[in-house]
Structure 1
Amino acid sequence: MAYRTFETPQMSRRGILRGGAWLTAGAALAGVPMGRAAMAKGGSTEWRNVAAMVEKYVGERKVANMVATLGWGQRDALTIAQGDLTLGSGVVADADSLYRIYSMTKPITGMAAMMLIDDGKIGLDQPLAEILPAYANMMVQKTYDGSVADVVPTVRPITIRQLLTHTAGLGYGIVQNGPIKAVYEERGLVPGQVSRLPIPGLGRAQAVSGLAEFADRLAKVPLVLQPGTKWSYSVGLDLLGRVIEVAGGMRFDEFLRTQIFEPAGMTSTYFRVPASEVGRFTTNYGILNGTPLPIDPARASIYLDNPAFPFGGAGLVSSPRDYDRFLRMLLGYGVIDGKRVMGELAVRVGTSNLMPETATTKGTWVEGQGFGAGGRVSDGSFGWGGAAGTVAFVNFQAGLRANLMTQYMPSEAYPIHAAFPKAVVDDLAAMQGA
């Protein structure tokens, strides 16, 4: 392996693609063996706290639906589901319903990159400029979110490791403020989508067409931080999509389809929802004073259109069953149903702490924790959340995979990213004591 060392109907731009509120359950799960509790328990009656959480949110009409999948090792997942695809529709949500997973796309993109590292086509610490020469002489803002003209050269090159771990110094239109945010919007560096509707607060910046053009334009914009110095949520995984297609010799979306989705049996994961599948697509809601209002109706969704380019950081729609298969493949160290999708070492390294030694997480969403290939790492857990209320993780020490899907924005309207892992941990504690 080539390892070179809503208060109003307005939506918060900062919360659009953000998955950063995910609370790791790693520390609590670390002491849970895949023994008697794991093997003998796990029915819906044992996951009482998870079931109660699902029932509460749907019963109080805070969300239209909620589906949780929980699985041990390579065993089939248990599904806990309530609610309708759209409020009042009568069409029940289940493990095959389709959800906008937003930033839960990032770990998938990260694992795609790990596959190329495993194949020796790129290196973990390889300079990005060796693959995309436009990134050879990057400039950095002297002042974070300050002037885009007052810049200095980088002191070290951007690397693949940094793209994977949000330490490349790249910005994010949903995070940055001031002139740099305006530049991102003016140049179409908008790697995500929410709705066809003109929703106040979202902005109407149009994304540049094509992943190659996205990468080329991004290279002309100053970095917000020196590479390798600090964790800062970014477009790194979107740019990595271009790296993957250059190094992999095929379009990024094709790489994911042929190298991950099809081999792993993920038949319901798309950048564009096919017309034939609209009948199982959920509606996304914006939360106004605790009330869900439709902002992306399933039958008029922006996800029925071709995206400007395949957004490696936030672009996928998937089902609970499909994402559980992705988690199951990781938990099998690259193997699912007896078929190897990824190399074992690629999974082990990708789900480990890949943060550069020179980078800090102080004052960030992941302070005190690690970060791997597109997801948070802590005490044997690897995972991330999405902007519309989804959250998923695996814990290798406990042999557990857990995934929750629902649809609302902004994600911080409800504490689901933290509440779901806590409910899982509380149920595990009850199992251990039974």
Structure 2
Amino acid sequence: MSELHDILDKHVGADRAPGAVALVARGDRVEVAAVGSTDTGGRTPMARDSIFRIASLTKPIMAAAVMTLVDEGRIALDSPVARWLPELASPSVVRTPASPLDDVVPAARPITVEDLLTFRAGYGFPADFSLPAVAPLFTELLQGPPQPQAVAAPDAWMAALGRIPMLHQPGEAWLYNICSDIQGVLVARAGGLPLPDFLAERIFEPLGMTDTGFAVPAADLGRFTGYYRVGGADHGGLEQVDAQDGQWSTLPAFPSGAGGLVSTVDDLHTFARMLLAEGTLDGRRVLSSAAVRQMTTDHLTPAQRESGRLFLVGQGWGFGGSVDIAPDEPWNAPGRYGWVGGTGTASYIVPSTGTAAILLTQLELGGPSPLPDAMHDFWRYAANA
């Protein structure tokens, strides 16, 4: 058994994830380990090709989709999004973040594509979830742990979003999550295809990411993992959130660009390899090198990074993922780009060393911080591999 296998194995069992798959690669040297089982019953051993709900690991893929349209000249970073998202043509903003929902002012300027990519469009989660303008994000938009079959179709979802005031003026503050869902609607409308079809045509098929999508085909459900959270009494201290034949067994009405995809460790490694190769893989160009550099560069001011401290620890934000900027923080590496998913997933690249590190589990995170010991142990190993 490898050291990577041993690291995963100590974090699998009672009151922990039933299983896990991890990959660490540096150049052509690739190490993969799979431990445990796909569910608490232990009926199916975890395997390299097991399929996971990747949650917020969807975000970098979503940003890449936006950048394909930028590369083609169909949209520009400074384009006002109202051309494709008329629901956001005249947004209102609460007078102060703590103001009630009916105390609003007009947006000072249009929301742009770059505002969405940098999470500075005015919509999303701040450090303080008790602010009045945050509640409708849960009640009207069903933001939170992924529940794909419960969310309204894109047009209805956008109409609801347009009725909710923004928490900050465009470009002012970094706010988590919702901008990736808006990006998904933008890509579908500007690209002229439903989001699942656009991602398949521009990213998944060119890269050979055959197990990535918004639903698991019936023939592949045997490879799909369960999804759990701590707190159940019937499954070794875990509560089942979703079963293999649950919410991801059919396409949802709203394909979530913030957290709706399923994938495998090898598909995510393929996406990581494309980024490390500055947009080209095996002779196929998916993104320009300039687009990859923009994705993997921090765009936040010090004040914006500080306001996002609940989510960003020694990190800034690129397009779709964080960028490490404080290497003295534990487990950070200069320039590391990637993100974590609320279903217990993580994926990062380090361009300076050509490293890719991916961890997939089935155990829901308790919140944005602190992250589980399993992730810290895995990152420590990946940094020294």
- Give yes or no for contact 1:106–1:237 (8 Å, CA) kept in 2: yes
Name the CA distance, whole Å, in 2 between partners of 1:367 and 1:286: 24
The match for 2:381 is: 423
1:174-220 Cα offsets, whole Å, 9 max, x none, are 97435434433453454763498xxxxxxxxx422x22332232122
- Counterpart residue number, 2:304: 360
Q: Could you tell me how far 1:173 is from its partner in structure 2?
A: 11
Distance in 2 (CA, whole Å) between partners of 1:62 and 1:191 is 22
Partners in 2 of 1:195 and 1:217 — Cα distance? 17
* Alignment-derived partner of residue 327 in structure 1: 272
1:252 alignment counterpart: 195
Q: In structure 1, give the amino acid aligned to 2:379.
A: P
Q: How many residue pairs were aligned?
A: 368
Tell me whether 1:166 sits opposite 2:122 in the alignment.
no
Matched-pair contact (CA < 8 Å) for 1:145–1:176: no
Classify the secondary structure of the residue corresponding to 1:70. strand
Percent identity over the alignment is 35
CA contact (8 A) 1:195 1:295 kept: no
Determine the structure 1 residue equivalent to 2:33: 80
Q: CA deviation at 1:246?
A: 1.8
Residues 1:232 and 2:175 are matched in the alignment? yes
One of 376, 390, 393 as aligned partner of 2:322: 376
- State which of 293, 302, 313 in structure 1 corresponds to 2:258: 313
What CA deviation, in whole Å up to 9, does each residue of 1:256-297 have, x standing for no partner?
A: 011100100000012111111110010111112893232212
1:297 has 2:250 as partner: no
Q: Which is further off, 60-69 or 276-285?
A: 60-69
Distance in 2 between the 1:389 and 1:185 partners?
A: 21
Q: Relative to 1, partners in 2 of residues 1:122 and 1:354: Cα closer, same or farther, differing over 3 Å?
A: farther
The one-letter code matched in structure 2 to 1:113 is: V
Partner amino acid, structure 1, of 2:44 = V
Distance 1:330 1:222 in 2: 35
The partner residue of 2:294 within 349, 356, 367 is 349
Shift in CA distance, 242/220, structure 1 to aligned 2, threshold 3 Å: same
CA contact (8 A) 1:229 1:358 kept: no
Q: Which amino acid letter does the alignment assign opposite residue 108 of structure 1? A: I
Aligned alpha-carbon RMSD (Å)? 2.5
State the shift of 1:108 in Å: 0.3
Measure the CA separation in 2 of the matches of 1:278 and 1:417.
26
Letter in 2 for 1:156: R
Structure 1 residue 414 and structure 2 residue 358: aligned? no
Q: Which amino acid in 2 is paired with 1:285?
A: Y
For 1:194-205, what aligned pairs fall within 5 Å after superposition?
A: 194=147
| 1:116-135 equivalence runs, <5 A | 116-135=69-88
Look up the match of 1:207.
Answer: 151
1:40-60 alpha-carbon deviations (Å, 9 max, x no partner): xxxx74xx3x43320101256
The 1:173–1:97 alpha-carbon spacing in structure 2 relative to 1, beyond 3 Å, is farther
Equivalent residue letter for 1:154 = A
* CA 1:389–1:367: 2 relative to 1, 3 Å: closer
Corresponding letter in the other structure for 1:418: H
**Is the 1:287–1:293 contact (alpha carbons within 8 Å) kept by the matching residues of 2?**
yes
1:139 aligns with 2:92: yes
CA contact (8 A) 1:386 1:411 kept: no
Is the 8 Å Cα contact of residues 148 and 254 (structure 2) preserved in structure 1? no
Structure with bigger RCO (C-alpha 8 Å, 6+ apart): 1
Q: Which amino acid aligns with 1:369?
A: Q
Structure 2: distance between partners of 1:214 and 1:174: 24
Unaligned stretches of 5+ residues in structure 1: 1-43, 197-205, 429-434
Shift of 1:359: 6.4
SS in 1 for 2:268: helix
3-state DSSP of counterpart to 1:302: coil
Task: Give, in angstroms, the shift of residue 135 of structure 1.
Answer: 1.7
Write the distance in 2 (CA, Å) between the matches of 1:324 and 1:392.
9
User: Structure 1 residue 68 and structure 2 residue 12: aligned?
Assistant: no
Q: How many angstroms apart in 2 are the aligned matches of 1:359 and 1:410? A: 27
1:432 maps to: none
CA contact (8 A) 2:94 2:133 kept: no
Q: Which residue of 2 aligns with 1:271?
A: 214
